[in-house]
Structure 1
Amino acid sequence: QNRGFSKKSHAFLPKIFRKMSSQSAKERPEGLQYPFLDDDDTIATVKESKTFFILRGLPGSGKSTLAQAIQDRYKDACRVISVDTYKIVPAIRSTIPEEYSKVDEDLVECFKRDISVIVLDDTHHERERLDQLFDIADKYRYKIIFAEPKTQWRIDCLQLKEKNQWKLSVEELKKMKPSLEKDFLPMYFAWFLSKRSSEILRKTGQVFLDELGSLKAFKKESKYFAPAIEDPKIKIDLTSYFVKRPPGVLHCTTKYADFGKAAGAEEYAQHEVRTRGQGSWQRRRQGLTSSSPNKTALVQPCTIQHHPRQRGLRGSRAHIPLGCASGVEAVQTGLDLLEFVKLEKAGNKGEDVGELGAGKLQYFNNGMWMLVLSKKIDVRAIFSGYYGKGKLVPTQSTNKRGSAFSSCTII
């Protein structure tokens, strides 16, 4: 599998950055028209998030000009790190220069300060170097956004020879060019919620679990809760069961790509992401119709559409995992949501149990619970990809009852 980078198939290159404020766009040169520079909703979303811009391109293609434009737009909320200042000459090489260790030290310092927008200006033509950056960004929970200059000469090595400050020859530039044209896809594509939106949604789920754990009807339903039934003052601690995930952004997966190896990943990147992702930097309103935890997870169904891997309606697995039971992978939560979808398609709307603070509680038998929100929750989200190694988030449950909740499904 070819796992490099391509402006032909990569989901986050300027080619899809089309929807923007026309008035702001006219104020900029054509080569600097991006939604993250011109669209107010997009800019507000980026400011609410922890966003790591990785600028890529040949020397002299206009990366530094783009970096400066981002700096001017986000001002104090942004920090630009240019590898040029570290005197690292771009070239094809067998190993990553040790000088990058200083770059990474400064980069990590920015990450630790939770700066909203961090821009790294370099050619980024080496896969090994990108892997290093993916690891750092993953550790500090920053969303990665790739961007390339849109200058007319960005791939013209004859013009770049005259423009690059390193006085690289046409032959040297041509050697780097193929590595910037290889396909590279993330582990998965997703809508990543802003930091603030993630906090709001987590709090909503927390309140729901607290209310549900105190509800008499809920405690009566399960044979595992006999002690709690005898004493109505005892609250079932659902929070310790649906383990809190480490702080970070919530997301709704749209396509599992497995770095290009998953079936349909290339087609998705070239077609679905481009045709539906034109506003991918825009503020995203998600009409959340219900909130749910189940035997594997607390999840939030949403209106984002994607290709389900299981049978069902298009987008029927679109959801945002809020937490998982100990030892359970978040990827399983979509399967649980489909159980509710199948019941609803069959005409089972559930039994109304009562009103909670956020909406109406319904019971679907077999330990399946759903909260239908009285109001939709609007969140801000950015379409991007996850490029980390995909290690499972460790869960450390304080629940001592083992499988006591094994037959309880909550959505």
Structure 2
Amino acid sequence: MRIGRLPPCRRRASARPPRRGYEIAAGGPGTEPRPLRSAPAAPGGAALAMNRGVTRKSHTFLPKIFRKMSTQSSKERPENLQFPFLDDDTTMSTVKESKTLFIIRGLPGSGKSTLAQAIQDQYKDACKVISADTYKITPAIRSSIPEDYSKLDEDLVDYCKRDISVVVVDDTHHERERLDQLFDIADKYQYKVLFVEPKTPWKMDCLQLKDKNQWKLSVEDLKKMKPSLEKDFLPLYYGWFLSKKSSENLRKTGKAFLDELGSLKVFKKESKYFLPAEDPKVKLDLTSYFVKRPPSVLHCTTKFTDFGKAMGADEYAQQEVVKASYGKAFTLTISALFLTTKTAGARVELSEQELLLWPGDVDKILPTDNLPKGSRAHITLGCASGIEPVQTGIDLLEFVKLEKAGTKDDEIEEIGGGKLQYFGNGMWMLLLSKKIEVKAIFSGYYGKGKLVPTQGSNKRGSAFNPCTII
């Protein structure tokens, strides 16, 4: 099994191709990698034409770019309905190949249903809208969540089981307990969450909302709900969340890398770092070794905010670039795959645009470290037993420090996907000869975020399966 490229994702070619290559054939999960065959040279400019659309244009990116929309429809749409997921072509196509739960939040009469309808109109058959109004659930301050939500949740779960790409829940969502119920459903069915609030000028004006809400709520009723909706609801962490298709393909690429690396003589000579001291002759299967896996929606974390409790959380969330980028699609570049005795991951090469969202205090292990901004950017593919995902970023920083010091084995082996480097102590990195581009949405993760070991077969060749979040 050999590492190669991701056909559904765009990629960049380096100046020096590998001596031999392998690709993962298109066809969905479970498809085995296959050898690449040499293609005849295209006549005339055909080769150039074939590569059009896979090259990312170079721009001088400024924060204001996030306020620009890419389609004519944004100019025609009212300003209070201008969002990346409604107007930006790249974002809309990425949402369509993902599973997204839109949680529309706001006071009664603020324009939530109009926003929900706009999402429905944009995504059509790929979208299902669930409104609390339909279930006659009156918005109010309550001591507990009413049983009236059971039917709503039943319908929500039904849509999630059917893998509907876009599911919209239209409600006030002013209660943390209710939101936790939705986060649990999103985790269980592997949906990423997007919080959306109306942009109407009167969204917090209780005097105007008194006349606009259909429940005939008084100003006093509205004022009771207002405090919980005035403050932004911060996630456990912010980051780029890969589309379902990109997640599946990157996961397969990671598995192929582990399989090929594990079969190499040069790796077997150094496999002592991965084997138990009491039984050093046991057969090593790297796919089984990294027993803890992230959920099916892979991600690249930018800022750990701990629901607003982490240092610098509010400052990060209030940045204009963070607000403008929320819910917007990006194309991340994977430049390398790596593994240590603790973690396996993909190295993300951030563009100037993406670096605007990167915190300035995360690219160091020791206070004295001075590494380039974005050095820690990664996607976790697996962790050894007893290791938490946060270790992946720490491991990558160790690689960067060794690179900076010029510390790596003189022997570099070329394999199917690029050049293999060994840094000693069980630290391996594959520099991809063709960088991989994956689609992702910048958002937040709002669930509990606990990973558990994958249950099932440990035989060689088993899929790089997702774990369950609890």
**Which of 312, 330, 337 lines up with 1:284 in the alignment?**
330
Consecutive unaligned residues of structure 2, counting only runs of 5 or more, are: 1-63, 276-281, 460-470
Q: What is the CA-CA distance between 1:313 and the residue it aligns to?
A: 3.0
Q: What is the CA-CA distance between 1:184 and the residue it aligns to?
A: 2.6
Match of 1:142 in 2: 191
Match of 2:86 in 1: 37
Q: What is the CA-CA distance between 1:392 and the residue it aligns to?
A: 2.8
Q: Deviations over 1:139-171 (max 9, x none)?
A: 211111011111122122222112111111122
Amino acid corresponding to residue 201 of structure 1 in structure 2: L
8 Å CA contact 1:243, 1:397 repeated in 2: no
Q: State yes or no: 1:376 paired with 2:435.
A: yes
Tell me how far apart the structure 2 counterparts of residues 135 and 106 of structure 1 sit (CA, whole Å).
15
Consecutive unaligned residues of structure 1, counting only runs of 5 or more, are: 1-14, 227-233, 401-411
Amino acid corresponding to residue 305 of structure 2 in structure 1: A
Tell me how far apart the structure 2 counterparts of residues 16 and 163 of structure 1 sit (CA, whole Å).
34
For the residue of structure 2 that corresponds to 1:375, the secondary structure is: strand
* Pairs within 5 Å for 1:3-402: 18-223=67-272, 236-243=284-291, 245=293, 248-271=296-319, 274-275=320-321, 278-304=324-350, 305=355, 306-307=358-359, 308=362, 310=365, 311=369, 312-348=371-407, 350-395=409-454
8 Å CA contact 1:290, 1:370 repeated in 2: yes
Q: What is the CA-CA distance between 1:349 and the residue it aligns to?
A: 5.2
8 Å CA contact 2:408, 2:424 repeated in 1: no
Tell me how far apart the structure 2 counterparts of residues 352 and 285 of structure 1 sit (CA, whole Å).
33
8 Å CA contact 1:241, 1:397 repeated in 2: no
Moved more, 183-192 or 200-209: 183-192
For the residue of structure 2 that corresponds to 1:115, the secondary structure is: coil
Q: What is the CA-CA distance between 1:22 and the residue it aligns to?
A: 4.9
Tell me how far apart the structure 1 counterparts of residues 432 and 411 of structure 2 sit (CA, whole Å).
13
8 Å CA contact 1:24, 1:39 repeated in 2: no
Amino acid corresponding to residue 341 of structure 2 in structure 1: K
Tell me how far apart the structure 2 counterparts of residues 218 and 387 of structure 1 sit (CA, whole Å).
39
Q: What is the CA-CA distance between 1:350 and the residue it aligns to?
A: 4.4
8 Å CA contact 1:321, 1:333 repeated in 2: yes
8 Å CA contact 2:86, 2:92 repeated in 1: yes
Q: Deviations over 1:37-70 (max 9, x none)?
A: 1111000111111100000111111111110110
Q: What is the CA-CA distance between 1:18 and the residue it aligns to?
A: 2.4
Q: Deviations over 1:181-240 (max 9, x none)?
A: 1343111111110110001111111111111111111112334799xxxxxxx9842111
Amino acid corresponding to residue 452 of structure 2 in structure 1: V
Change (3 A) 1:145 1:334: same
Q: What is the CA-CA distance between 1:391 and the residue it aligns to?
A: 2.1
For the residue of structure 2 that corresponds to 1:378, the secondary structure is: strand
Tell me how far apart the structure 1 counterparts of residues 424 and 157 of structure 2 sit (CA, whole Å).
50
8 Å CA contact 2:137, 2:148 repeated in 1: yes
Change (3 A) 1:16 1:51: farther
8 Å CA contact 1:194, 1:380 repeated in 2: yes
Amino acid corresponding to residue 129 of structure 1 in structure 2: R
8 Å CA contact 1:325, 1:395 repeated in 2: no
Change (3 A) 1:382 1:350: farther
Amino acid corresponding to residue 178 of structure 1 in structure 2: P
8 Å CA contact 1:74, 1:117 repeated in 2: yes
Tell me how far apart the structure 2 counterparts of residues 338 and 267 of structure 1 sit (CA, whole Å).
25
Change (3 A) 1:175 1:357: same
Amino acid corresponding to residue 108 of structure 1 in structure 2: V
Match of 1:407 in 2: none
CA RMSD across the alignment: 2.4
Tell me how far apart the structure 1 counterparts of residues 391 and 222 of structure 2 sit (CA, whole Å).
46
Percentage of pairs with the same residue: 72
Amino acid corresponding to residue 343 of structure 1 in structure 2: L
For the residue of structure 2 that corresponds to 1:290, the secondary structure is: strand
8 Å CA contact 1:219, 1:225 repeated in 2: no
Change (3 A) 1:362 1:397: farther
Tell me how far apart the structure 2 counterparts of residues 80 and 327 of structure 1 sit (CA, whole Å).
40
Q: What is the CA-CA distance between 1:353 and the residue it aligns to?
A: 2.8
Tell me how far apart the structure 2 counterparts of residues 87 and 277 of structure 1 sit (CA, whole Å).
33
For the residue of structure 1 that corresponds to 2:345, the secondary structure is: strand
Match of 1:3 in 2: none
Moved more, 389-398 or 57-66: 389-398
TM-score of the pair, normalised by structure 2: 0.76
